[in-house]
Amino acid sequence: MNLWQAVKMAWKSIWGKKGRSALTILGIFIGIAAVMTIVSVMDGYKRAMTAQYSAMGTGIINVSIYNWMYDEQGNDISKDYFPELQAYCNSLKDVKGVSPQGRLYNVTVTYSTKSTANMRREYDDNGNLVGEAPPDMYYGSDQYSACNNLKLARGRDLSPLDISKYNMVCTIGADTAKLFFGTSNPVGKNLMVNGAAYRVVGVYAARLTENNTGFNSNLDNIIIFPYTAQRMLGGEKPSEFVVKLRDSNKLKEVKARVNGFLKGVVPDENFYVYSNDQWQQAEEAVLGMVGGVLAGIAAISLLVGGIGIMNIMLVTVTERTREIGIRRAIGAQRASIVAQFLIEAAMLCGFGGIVGILVGTGGSLILGKILFKMTIYPSFPVTLGAFSLSVAIGVLFGSYPAAKASRLQPVEALRAE
């Protein structure tokens, strides 16, 4: 019996018992669809995470200095370490810029009828921001934009004079511009910040859009003040700093140098030097563990489906015992009997794999839109691997029934009813 004959016999057997065949491949297609969806969603998460970190910029070192000191009257006597850190970083040829980077809290911003006092950060069931979210407010130096991958769309950036003269100015992100000013040009207009007028001197171009990531980030909903002005807004001396490198490949080297410098400046080593890639690596490690757990669940489904294939093939061997005896009696080799049942098992699982691929692709598209606002198609290697896996499961779990069929003795098989 040649291969084509074996395929036709397998198809006849499968099609002849359509209901049983459909139920048999159920476990396989569920497992394959789960694997396809899991791999695609993990890929979508990585792409969204990469977009997030790319928007924040690469080659960035963050420095935290724990610097809270007060006298007996409760006055802040903590030291401002920025001038020393700035002078040292500017002496390094691999450093592009350095800036304080601190958050401002309990600050109310008002323009016309819009006020952050009436805004709340609220999320829908899918984790998406709804309504008007208040902007995040930071302070920084004239090098803040260079350190945070910000590019001007309108106006100018913060300048050294803004820092030294305590100018009451600010720059804003693209989303903040839309929030307060709509489609009009914000440059030159005043935002009322805790009752004082701060002139908008520049607007940054958008770093993230709804189409390239599903992460709810406020990277474009920001207001940046000169770090010298933050004291008038109730802030403390800067304790968070960001260092931007010219070459991200020098990250480890520069981080070690900054760490060594701070050991000789900050008492009791009350500081921490880290970089974005540490968080990215940590997230990827967690993602790998989550993916492993989900893959294990999908593997259980495939195992159950494989056992179902083995069970139905054993039933098929029992039903076709007399046919096997006739074929053996007229000279069929054991190898041809094995091949016949292996082909049938592989075809069953192959059909399950095809259905699973279609369902998995649909699931990937739907979840990609819901979770990440992006179109996620399973890659060709993943699709090919999923189909190959389904066929391999058929061959693996069909081996025992096929071997059992080939070992039947012709005389005993012919006696079967």
∠ CA 57-60-61, rounded to 5°: 155
Total number of domains constituting the chain: 3
Q: What is the pLDDT of residues 363-398, one digit of tens each?
A: 888 888 887 777 888 888 889 988 999 999 999 999
pLDDT band per the 50, 70, 90 thresholds, residue 351: very high
Distance from C-alpha of 81 to C-alpha of 85, rounded to nearest angstrom: 6
Determine, yes or no, domain membership for 372.
yes
Q: What is the pLDDT of residues 156-165, one digit of tens each?
A: 999 999 998 9
Answer yes or no: do 135 and 254 share one domain. no
Answer yes or no: do 204 and 245 share one domain. no
Q: What is the pLDDT of residues 177-217, one digit of tens each?
A: 999 999 999 999 999 999 999 999 999 998 765 444 444 45
Determine, yes or no, domain membership for 276.
no
Tokens of 151: 């590019």
Determine, yes or no, domain membership for 277.
no
Of 24-28, 52-56, 272-276, 303-307, minimum mean pLDDT range: 52-56
pTM of the model: 0.59
Answer yes or no: do 243 and 217 share one domain. no
pLDDT of residue 210: 44
**How many CB atoms are closer than 10 A to CB 398?**
27
**How many CB atoms are closer than 10 A to CB 387?**
18
The fraction of the chain above a pLDDT of 70, given in percent, is 85
* Residue 278: pLDDT over 80: no
Answer yes or no: do 183 and 249 share one domain. no
Determine, yes or no, domain membership for 318.
yes
Of 145-154, 214-223, 309-318, 345-354, minimum mean pLDDT range: 214-223
* Residue 274: pLDDT over 60: yes
Distance from C-alpha of 261 to C-alpha of 243, rounded to nearest angstrom: 14
∠ CA 67-218-214, rounded to 5°: 130
Answer yes or no: do 39 and 135 share one domain. no
The fraction of the chain above a pLDDT of 90, given in percent, is 35
Determine, yes or no, domain membership for 382.
yes
pLDDT of residue 215: 46
Residue ranges making up the domain that contains 232: 105-237
Answer yes or no: do 118 and 201 share one domain. yes
Strand partners, 241: 63, 100
Determine, yes or no, domain membership for 60.
no
Answer yes or no: do 308 and 343 share one domain. yes
Answer yes or no: do 201 and 348 share one domain. no
pLDDT of residue 275: 82
The arithmetic mean of pLDDT across residues 330-339, rounded, is 85
Is residue 381 a contact partner of residue 35, using CB atoms and an 8 Å limit?
Answer: no
Answer yes or no: do 375 and 314 share one domain. yes
Determine, yes or no, domain membership for 342.
yes
Residue with tokens 């007229």: 330
Give φ, ψ of 354 to 5 degrees.
Answer: -65, -45
Residue closest to 314 by CA, chosen among 247, 404, 382, 229: 404
Determine, yes or no, domain membership for 353.
yes
Answer yes or no: do 300 and 402 share one domain. yes
Answer yes or no: do 344 and 371 share one domain. yes
Of 124-128, 208-212, 252-256, 333-337, minimum mean pLDDT range: 208-212
* Residue 51: pLDDT over 70: no
pLDDT band per the 50, 70, 90 thresholds, residue 53: low
Buried b (16+ CB within 10 A) or exposed e, 193-226: beeeebebbbbbebbbeeebbbbebbbbbbbbbb
Answer yes or no: do 256 and 195 share one domain. no
Helices and strands: H and E segment counts in the chain? 13, 15
